[in-house]
Structures are given as structure tokens and as C-alpha cells.
Amino acid sequence: MESQSQSYTKSQVDFINKQLQAAARMAARTEKEILSLFTDDEINLVKVKWSGSQPSNGISFKERLMNQVDAVTPEELLVTRLNVNKKELLQKIMDLTAYQAFTLIRVSSQRRNE
């Protein structure tokens, strides 16, 4: 199989680099937003719920996360162990954009076990 090398002009490379830098800034800004909106306990709960979920086709990260938090989490656990208000957490998730929901999942997945 022959390898075909694509060469790019300097302006094309500069354009691609600017796009990548803008995407990295947006990701960092969104992560800061998520960390300011959610408590550590809420983020830890998202980690637990997301890591136990099964993949599903045709449902967004946001919808799947809301379903996991709503269906699987007993109120007693939230109040006694995690200090999380389920209704408030669900409202926060509902208010997120799809990208913010994805970022919340990513941030929670990067957390160490606490």
C-alpha cells in the first residue's frame, strides 16, 4: 500500500493551529464552568453513576446522565453519604448544553476514587 503525503501551505497550517487553539480554550473554559456549577459531591456522584451505565445508541450523553441519576440513586444515599440534592442536581444537568454535559462526564471520569 502506497503512502500518500499531503502537503499543506503555511496559511493552511496556521488556520488549523488557530482552530485547535480555539477549541482548547473553549474546552478549558467549559471545564472551569462545570467546576464552578457543581460541588465535589455532585461530580463524584456523576462519576459513580456514569461508570456503572451501559452504552446506548441514539440517546445523548445529557439524557443518559439524567436517566442514570434519576433512576438509580436512592434519596437516602444522597442525603446521608453524598450531601447531594437529587432535584437540584437534575436541574443543573438539565440546564447544561450537550457539550457541557459531555464535559461534566469527562471531568468526573478523570477524578480519583474518593
Q: Where are the domains of the chain?
A: 10-109
Query: Lowest mean pLDDT: which of 35-44, 50-59, 72-81, 104-113?
Result: 72-81
CB–CB of 65/49 below 8 Å?
yes
Radius of gyration over alpha carbons of the chain, in Å? 19
Q: At which residue does the C-alpha cell 467549559 appear? A: 30
CA–CA separation, 81 vs 83, rounded Å?
A: 6
Query: What pTM was estimated for this model as a whole?
Result: 0.78
Report DSSP state, residue 81: I
Measured in whole angstroms, the distance separating CA 114 from the mean position of its chain's CA atoms is: 18
* pLDDT class of 79 with cuts at 50, 70, 90: low
Condensed to tens digits (0 to 9), the pLDDT of residues 41-58 reads 999 989 988 876 677 778
